Amino acid sequence: MKIAIDGPAGSGKSTIAKLIAKNLNITYIDTGAMYRAVTLYFMDKNIPANDLDSIKHELPNIELEFIDNQMHMNQKNVSLEIRTPRVTNNVSNYAKIDIIREDLQNKQKFIALKQSVIMDGRDIGTVVLKDADFKFFLVATVLERARRRLIDLNREGYQMDINLLIEEIERRDAIDASRDHSPLKKADDAIEIDTSKLTIDEVIEKIENIIKRG
Ligand code: DC
């Protein structure tokens, strides 16, 4: 079984996908974590997003692996580091580069060849799992998405002004939705769910009912 979950930042994709993976006993793949890990790699090497020659040269040196839902890059667990504001604020600039997208999309397609998966991202229903059995596109108001992100950041020990978060989310969505290569977009055959006023359990119930009905 292949399930695609797409949507903008903070729409609830990863929380929902992780729980559904557990309930259905299938593999969860957080494709955003892969773009974040690649961003961390290039930032640590001081390679800016416009240095395409260095990016092309370095890409084959980046090995990505999920172990127990944790993102490992070149044998190091980078799950915490990839969530820092430093990476979050730069990831869209690296994620719009064609050679990075093609490399990660190939890796994602390969993972899905061998097993049942639920994958979340921006281009899963439109590109990576075009033939998915189920496609969902989660949306929520920008205020609600900023509020959720603030709760996550507070939990991780960061303080932030909600208005800055709203700006940041809008800026990231704009870059993700306007890039030429596989932009953030609802697939024609995806089911859209507005999660703004729903609890996590309600979203899961909706999705699992649709999957059960086949
Ligand atoms: O889901 P996330 O916020 O962790 O994703 C981080 C960034 O990666 C997001 O701003 C856009 C990019 N991304 C992408 O372009 N395509 C994907 N399939 C997943 C994420």
Cα 139 from Cα 5, distance rounded (Å): 11
Nearest to 37 by CA among 14, 66, 10, 1: 66
**pTM for this prediction:** 0.95
User: pLDDT by residue (tens digit) across 44-70?
Assistant: 999 999 999 999 999 999 999 999 999
Q: How far is the CA of 145 from the centre of ligand 1 (A)?
A: 15
User: pLDDT by residue (tens digit) across 105-139?
Assistant: 999 999 999 899 999 999 999 999 999 999 999 99
User: pLDDT by residue (tens digit) across 131-162?
Assistant: 999 999 999 999 999 999 999 889 888 888 99
Q: How far is the CA of 95 from the centre of ligand 1 (A)?
A: 7
| pLDDT for the residue numbered 157 | 87
Topology classification of domain 2-197: Rossmann fold (3.40.50)
Q: Which amino acid is at 103?
A: D
Put the strands of the sheet holding 134-139 in their side by side order: 27-30, 117-121, 2-6, 134-139, 191-194
173 lines ligand 1 (CB under 6 A): no
Is the pLDDT at 194 greater than 90? The verdict is: yes
94 lines ligand 1 (CB under 6 A): no
In the chain, where are the structural domains located?
Answer: 2-197
96 lines ligand 1 (CB under 6 A): no
Which residue's C-alpha comes closest to atom 5 of ligand 1?
32
